[in-house]
Amino acid sequence: MKIRAKPHFSVSTQTQQKIAFTLLGIASSLVVVPVIVIFAILIQKGWPAINWQFLTTMPRMGMRAGGIFPAIMGTLYLVGGTIVVALPLGVLAAIYLVEYARRNFLTRMIEVAIVNLAGVPSVVYGLFGMGLFVIYLKMGVSIVAGALTLAIMILPVIITSTKEALQSVPRSFREASLALGVSKWQTIRYVVLPNALPGILTGTILGISRAAGETAPILFTVAAFYLPRLPKSIFDQCMALPYHLYVLSTQVPNVKPALQYGTALVLVGMVFLLNLVAILVRSHIRSRKQW
Amino acid sequence: MNKIETKNLSLFYGTFQALIDVNLSVEEKMITALIGPSGCGKSTLLRTLNRMNDLIDGVRITGEVLIDGENIYGKETDLVLLRKKVGMVFQRPNPFPLSIFDNVAYGPRTHGSKNKAELEDIVEKALKHVELWEVLKDKLDHFALNLSLEQQQRLCIARLVAVTPDIVLMDEPCSALDPVATQRIEELMFELKKNYTIVIVTHNMQQAARVSQRTGFMLLGKLVEYGETRQVFTTPREKKTEEYITGRYG
């Protein structure tokens, strides 16, 4: 029996394989390169600007000096408000769709709507929020209006990830509970939700990190150009990091580049931290999960 | 009066008829076995008895299932009460990913026993009932999924016993277990028979012959033969039954 294949044939497959591996390798490194470059430049140029004072004081001299404290706090308020609205709404909607809704035309329509909602450009959410919350519902340019707009934007993320988390809870758990004479709602409350929690949390954090970084939805609904104080109530405007960065970079002349890069670094750092938390939560729960 | 009685029970998955005019009567405090080849409808029949089939979309049922003389497919049936009364043990042990204590306490807790002493009492009794208490009494806070499969299945039975059902349905409860564990679970069934009416589905004919007093043989959705286990296995009335128990198909 001949094990060695014909020489020209074998060379050609091996060469093909090498070429394929090289191409795949290049493609995957190309994905990583921009991330590393962005981080490197941000850290190199922004790090010198970051100190305690930068993080905790108000901007001064038309934002050319001082800190970005109100922008950081504004972003935190917005993120908080967004969670309060989007998390319960999204989780309840997902529970309904997965556990209660029958497969029919209506639920299919709802699912298609959710997918499409996820693909709507963020500036459209911004304009929609302005039209509905700011003007029609007379909330004015305010934290409520901004948080509601961001909440609508991240709802699809939360609903989709919650649905997947609920569907991944084994059917046998539900059956075991129902067969003990436990009602459907109690089964969801005590068996399904606790086991779906990690997935729900991950989705929520990813949604929130998106909300923290978007500019367009807050542009017309909440963000203040220059407001060197903390908001007085949820009906007040506030500064926010993404918008502040945009303002520093394009709207104010003669800003030291270090300030711009410093702001960008803080924003990226916050989003990165949120994502990191999501990854840690997920891996922690996965290591405990034994089914 | 028979504990369970089905009258002209038919079940359809969409257009496929999985049960055809089944008339079965189950006597109190006995073990009734349902045997038959895969896909004959024995599990489906079992799951009509606590309405677990309701969970599947597109299921339609005609006929009646009487439990203590009441039609459980009637309009007034409370599913929660029904399933409290008619409990189920599944093919694969399916304890919750909780501690041993919390698994057994799960049913009583959701049914409203909040008192800690009362729960401890219920858990102890239930675990004693399935002979797990001596082994596990110091490990009640351990994670239930780390137990052996046999212990998990016992735990599932204890979890069921804790809500004091009347009837216990067992859907191939030993198919995931090794022969020794199987034997021990069978011994437990004998023990349980004193207090509960048991209906067991099994593809293991020897098991049916060993544990049950009544046997029903099913084929293609029909209850072909039903009677005393000894009679069904030694002098079957139907030719199909004889061919099945002598291993000609299955």
- pLDDT for B163-185, tens place per residue? 989 999 999 988 888 888 888 88
Query: Region A106-117: what's the mean pLDDT?
Result: 91
pLDDT at residue A287 greater than cutoff 80: no
Q: Give the integer Cα–Cα distance in Å for A218 and A115.
A: 22
Please give the backbone phi and psi of residue B63, each rounded to the nearest 5 degrees, phi first.
Answer: 95, -170
**Tokens 């497959």 map to which residue?**
A13
Where are the extended beta strands (E) located within chain B? 4-13, 16-22, 25-26, 31-35, 59-67, 70-71, 86-89, 167-171, 197-201, 214-219, 222-228
In the predicted structure, residue A6 carries a pLDDT above the cut 80: no
Residues 161-180 of chain A whose Cβ lies under 8 A from any Cβ of chain B: 170, 172-180
Q: B97 and chain A: CB distance < 8 Å anywhere? A: yes
pLDDT at A104: 85
Q: Report yes or no: B67 and B3 within 8 Å, Cβ to Cβ.
A: yes
- What confidence score (pLDDT) does residue A146 get? 94
Cβ atoms of B167 and B86 closer than 8 Å: yes
Angstrom distance (rounded) from CA A215 to CA A241: 9
Cα B238 from Cα B223, distance rounded (Å): 11
**Per-residue pLDDT averaged across A103-122, rounded?**
90
b/e string for B185-202 if b means 16 or more Cβ within 10 A? bbebbeebbeebbbbbbb
When comparing pLDDT for B132 and A62, which is higher? B132
Are B146 and A290 within 8 A, CB to CB? Answer: yes
Question: Testing the interface with B: which of A99, A169, A180, A286 to mutate, by most B Cβ within 10 A?
Answer: A180
Asked if B62 has any chain A CB less than 8 Å from its own CB, the reply is no
Q: What value does the mean pLDDT take over residues A61-79?
A: 87
Q: Which residues of B touch A170 (CB under 8 A)?
A: 94
Q: What share of chain B is helix, strand, coil (3-state, %, to 5)?
A: 40, 25, 35
Interface check B176 vs A, CB under 8 A: no
What is the pairing mode between strands B197-201 and B214-219? unpaired
Bridge partners (DSSP) of residue B199 are B32, B169
Cβ proximity of A122 and A214 under 8 Å: yes
B64 close to B71: Cβ distance less than 8 angstroms: yes
- Report pLDDT for B184: 84
A241 and A74 in contact (C-beta within 8 Å)? yes
Q: Which of residues 69-88 of B touch A (CB under 8 A)?
A: 79-85, 87-88
Q: Nearest-CA distance from B240 to chain A in Å?
A: 33
CB-based burial label for A127 (10 Å; 0-12, 13-18, 19+)? middle
**Residues B94, A186: C-beta atoms closer than 8 Å:** no
Which secondary-structure segment (H or E) carries A161? Answer: helix A143-167
**Predicted pLDDT at B100:** 92
Measure the CA–CA gap between A52 and A56, rounded to whole angstroms.
Answer: 6
> Measuring CA to CA, which residue among B197, B173, B223 is closest to residue B29?
B197
Residue A291 has pLDDT above 60, yes or no: no
Parse chain B into domains and list their residue ranges: 4-93+165-245
Element (H, E) at A147: helix A143-167
The answer to whether residue B107 neighbours chain A at the CB level (below 8 Å) is yes
Q: Average pLDDT of chain A?
A: 88
Give B90-141 pLDDT, tens digit per residue: 988 999 989 999 999 999 998 887 788 899 999 999 998 888 888 888 888 8
Instruction: Compare CB distances from B90 to A172, A182, A289 and report the shortest one's residue.
Output: A172
Chain A within 8 Å of B159 (Cβ-Cβ)? Answer: yes
CB pair distance less than 8 Å for B111 and A176: no
- B110, B153, B157, best to mutate vs chain A, most A CBs in 10 Å: B110
The token pair at A190 is: 């005590």
B57 touches chain A (CB under 8 A): yes
Residue type, A229: R
Cβ-based contacts of A107 with chain B (< 8 Å): none
Mean pLDDT of A166-192: 91
Q: What's the DSSP call for residue A4?
A: S
Are the beta carbons of B97 and A291 separated by less than 8 Å?
yes
Query: pLDDT-derived band of residue A37, with 50, 70 and 90 as boundaries?
Result: very high
Tell me which of 3.40.50.620, 3.40.50.300, 3.40.640.10, 3.40.50.150 is the CATH number of domain B4-93+165-245: 3.40.50.300
Contact (CB, 8 A) for A218 and A78: yes
Determine the average pLDDT of the residues in A251-257.
84
Average pLDDT over residues B69-93: 89
Cβ contact, residue pair A180, B143, below 8 Å: no
CA atoms within 13 A on the CB side of A131: 6
**Count of other CB atoms within 10 angstroms of residue B238:** 13
Mutation pick from B59, B78, B83, B161 vs chain A, by most beta carbons of A within 10 Å, is B83
- Smallest CA–CA distance from B153 into chain A, residue: A176
Contact list, A178 vs chain B (CB under 8 Å): 52, 55, 83
Measure the CA–CA gap between B70 and B92, rounded to whole angstroms: 30
- At residue A8, the pLDDT reads 56
**pLDDT for the residue A160:** 93
B207/A185 Cα distance (integer angstroms): 37
Cα gap A14→A282, rounded to integer Å: 40
Q: Which of B81, B88, B145 sits opposite A179 (nearest CB)?
A: B88
Confidence of residue A10 (pLDDT cuts 50, 70, 90): low
Contact A65/A59 with Cβ under 8 angstroms?
Answer: yes
pLDDT value of residue A93: 93
pLDDT tens for B180-238 read: 888 888 988 888 888 899 999 998 888 998 999 999 999 998 999 999 999 988 888 88
Whether ipTM > 0.95 holds is: no
What gap in Å lies between CA B41 and CA B198, rounded to an integer? 18
B160 contact A CB<8A: yes
Cross-chain Cβ contact A179/B87 below 8 Å? yes
What is the DSSP code string of B128-156? HHTT-HHHHTT-TTSBGGGS-HHHHHHHH
Burial of A170 per CB tally in 10 Å (0-12, 13-18, 19+): middle
SS3 state at A225: coil
Residue A290 touches partner B, C-beta closer than 8 Å: yes
CA atoms of B233 and B213, how far apart (whole Å): 11
* B56 in contact with A, Cβ within 8 Å: no
Q: Is A190 on the interface with B (CB under 8 A)?
A: yes
Distance of alpha carbon A22 from alpha carbon A43, whole angstroms: 31
- Count residue pairs from A and B with Cβ separation < 8 A: 74
Question: Cβ contacts (< 8 Å) between B88 and chain A: which residues?
Answer: 175, 179
| Mean pLDDT (whole number) for A105-111 | 90
List of E strands, B28-122: 31-35, 59-67, 70-71, 86-89
**Does the structural domain A69-288 have CATH classification 1.10.3720.10?**
yes
pLDDT attached to residue A192: 93
Q: Which pLDDT belongs to residue B215?
A: 92
